[in-house]
Structure 1
Amino acid sequence: LDDLLTKWEELKDLSRNICEGFEEAKDIYEFNKNVDLVESWIREKELMIQFNDTGEDYEHCTALLKKLDDVGTGLKVDEDEIHQINHLADKLINQCKNENQVDEKRLSLNEKWKQLQQKIADYRQRLINALEIHSLNRDLDEVNERLMEKHLLASKECDAKNLSSAENEQRKHLSLCNDIYGIDNHFKNINDNDVRRLIGKNPELMEKSRTKIQNIQDNLRKLSQECSTKDEKLKFAVKLHKFFDSIKEYENWASIILVNKLSKTFTSENILQAENELQDHGYVKDELLAKKQNNKNLKEYGLSLLQELKQNENENQLQIQKLQECLENNDELQRKLDQAWEDKSNYLKQCKQLHNFNELYKQADSWLTMKEAFLTNDDLGSNLTAVKDLLKKHDSFVQSFAGHQRIVDLSTFAQQLFEQKHFDLHNIQMKHDEILERRDKLLELAKIRKNKLEDSKLYFKFLQNYNEIHGWLTEKIKVANDESYRESINLLSKKQKHAAFEAEINSNKGRIDELLGEGENLINNSHFRSEEIKSNLDNIKKLYRQLNDSATFKRNRLNEAYQALQFFRLCDVLSLWIKDIEAILSDQDNGKDLSSVRNLLKKHQLLENDVHNHNENIENIKDQLAHFQRSNHFQIDEIEEKGKS
């Protein structure tokens, strides 16, 4: 156990020694590593200092300063780092192991560190001085860049489309000039302060600054000249656009005038309104004259601007062309206004003429309407007297119509408007033609009515004759239809009267034929009462035929009655004779003696001769009876009875 404990203690000592050896080796390793790193850092700084780079610009110089101060790097060596290395070296020396080697490295490192610190301080100062110059150059570059920016703005062509944009460009240019003035003051401040302060710090870098300063001064002079030139251009552009705006304002006014006051719109409703419009149009002329004078002054101003532009004609071709077109358009607009006023004046005069024409048209229309109303009267008279009165009125109407002054005035005035080529020529022509057509139609209607009245007159004359003849025929038919022939009294006288009656009928045949001819003529001439006339003629013909038939019938009846009367008389004579014969034959006297017998025989012989002689009369009576029977005599019954008796 003691042996084991002894070995355990030995093991612990051995382990402790090994641990101390590891600690020492670790410290040596760390010391050597740190020394190597610091020496590497020192070499890097020495190379940087040896290169003596002060930077191309402010940013580069700032980066070198940061690099010199190890800003943003993983490795940075300072007094604390050197102190730690020295402390570690002291620790290793105190351990009495490799103390010479450690001490040599420490001394060498400290010497290099001290030497480097002075070099770094000098190099840092050079960088700081260079940084100020770089800052100056940066400020100068910034000034120059701003000048270049302003140069681009100042050299930009003025392309203002209107007055507002031109004035806006002018305001921008004024702001630009103020900016340039501020840049100039800033440059003077830099030149007066920083340049004088830094002039001796780094002559090489300051040479570059002097070049920049000279360049800036040249640019300032050029920019000042450009600003002055552009200012003149902008002022001229403002004047030019003010001129264009004045022209535009005049054109707008002209457009409004052309639309509202010079347009050809027919608004007047009567002659008075047309006269008022003409008067108002005269006021428009006064307004046009005032504007025309202003426009003349404006044109003269435009011509002066044109002369200014032509001083540099090559550069101002577009503006010259635009201004010339504007002046030409303005002249054309002025001519258009003058012509529009003249056209409107003529138009308003024609409007007044149109109202005059319409007034004449209304008068003619009213007059024609009244006359047409007169002709719409369908009254053609109810008798001849009424027709004659209507004819007198119609003749007076025609006389009042012939050469009517209203229509003559209308036609004359219309011809004047035709010659003037009036704007409403179509309607005027239509109304004029309408009035003339109505007049011609009225004349035609008057002629037609005249013809109708004449026809009516002829009709009533015809009707008068017709009524006379109709009455005469009716009366004669009554006479002809008289059955006086049935009475045997005065039959011979009746026959004579009837013969006279028929002679009267024949004597009036000419009147009837004349009436029929008159009626036929009216029908052939298409009389408006042709149907009535034809009916009347047919009636007359019928009555005339009836009269002739009745007269013939009565004549026949009278003849038959007279024949019957003679028959009756013959029968009566024979009857008396027969009675006498019968009385003689009924005598019982046969004679008393021969002489008386002979006398009786002689008488009987005479009687037989008498009978024989009367046989012819008997046969005649039989023949007449047979004739009466065949002819269906109207007294056949009486005749047969008489014949039988």
Structure 2
Amino acid sequence: GEAGELQRFLGSLDHFQSWLSRTQMTVASEDIPNSLAEAEKLLNQHQQLRDEIDTYAPEYAKIKEFGDKVTEGEDDPQYMFLRQRLQALDDGWHELLQMWENRQQLLSQSLSLQMFLRDAKQAEVLLSQQDNFLSKEDVPIAPVDKQTSVQAAENLIKRHEAFITTMDANDEKINAVLQFSNRLIDENHYDREKIHKKAESISERRDQNRQRSDEQLERHKDQHILQQFLQECDELRDWLQDKMAAAQDETYRDAKNLHSKYVRHKAFESEIAANKDRLDRVVEEGEAIMQAKPETRDQIEPMLADLSNQWEDLETTTKEKGERLFDANRSVLYQQSCDDVDSWVTNLESQIVTSDDFGKDLTTVNLHVQKQNQMENQMKMKEQQVQELESQSQHLRSMEPDKEEEIESRRALVAERFAKIQGPLMMRRANLDKVKRIHQFMRDIEDEKLWIEEMMPRATNQEYGNSLLSVQLLIKKNHSLQVEIDNHEPRIMSVVQVGQDLIDSGHSHSEEFQSLINDYCNAGKH
């Protein structure tokens, strides 16, 4: 009995000891995984080993319990040896558990390392793609023409801004890698030095790419500004060349229609003067670019000098042409200028004096107002012409003293006629305004009557609702109507006031206006 039981126990002990030794050897393996798959595989195998250890735990407890009972109080050398074996078994068991934990930690850290290396590699791929894009972008694009250059510069900016958007999105992935590395280092990872170096490299590359990207975007913007400036220079140069060709046109030598040519030339001079700010703006922009980017000076400075010279040539040519045009035919031009103003005044007199028609309704009055505006605009132009006659006559009198009286009397007559026509023109404007006010009042009164007619059905609605909901709806509608009427009241008062002003001014149709106001007010009261 007891001997057999002891024999079986010793057999179990031998078997367990053998398993324990084998398992300790397995756990003691120092294999370090070199890939994520390998790390997962080893960790999985290690977990299976734990399951096996846990399976042996009851047997270990059973052996320990039986052994302690068998050896208790025994001094026999055999039992003392057995006690030592049991102690060694106990030490071995706890050592196995500790070894497993140590290996578990190592494999867990190995898995983390492989995951980090995988993520780091993906981050490095992103950084390499960025680096590749930035390196390619350094290559300048040869423009086909200035327009293409501006478009190309704009496209580069758009493309680069899209790249920055992608960079920003990639930053999230890169930041995740860096945060992962910080966590592993904080956890005292066994390979923290390698992790730190890798993370530092990624961070530095990211920062370098960001800096390069910012610098390149700045260069693209500078290039865009430069290309726009060059395009403006080209456009101004083309304009100057066109105007120079016009300024050098010799057809003015023919005295026929000299006045109209002179007027056109004056308009041409005005156009040149009006465009002077284009040159000033281009020069200012060029100076600003050279100030900000000194390396552009060699390119821009000669262009600005050339444009300024062309502008001076154009101004000189235009001025000389005007002088030649005037000097060569001064007397003819003076006569034609006087005739032009004279005939214009005669034509205007016929329109003003012979016409008492100011329109029979608002539409025709407005047409007359448009015509009046045209006449007044022409008046301003002719006024300048009359002023020019003064300087022309002075110069002509000095050249032809024997005709001084004739020249001056002609100018004075033209000036007098021009001055006289202004009064009737202003009177016509006043009459038109008065007539327009009357017709506008009549129209407004009719419009207001129509508005009242539209409002009346809503205001006199006898429906009071047959349920709480319908009553609430009617109250809401009534409130909206009241608000609409209140908002419209200033308009009503304004129209009535216009009518009252017409009556107060003693207008011949005052009774009719009063009647319209009364009808309107009565319609509103109903």
Q: TM-score, normalised by structure 1?
A: 0.40
Structure of higher RCO (CA pairs closer than 8 Å, 6+ residues apart): 2
Larger radius of gyration: 1
Q: TM-score, normalised by structure 2?
A: 0.48
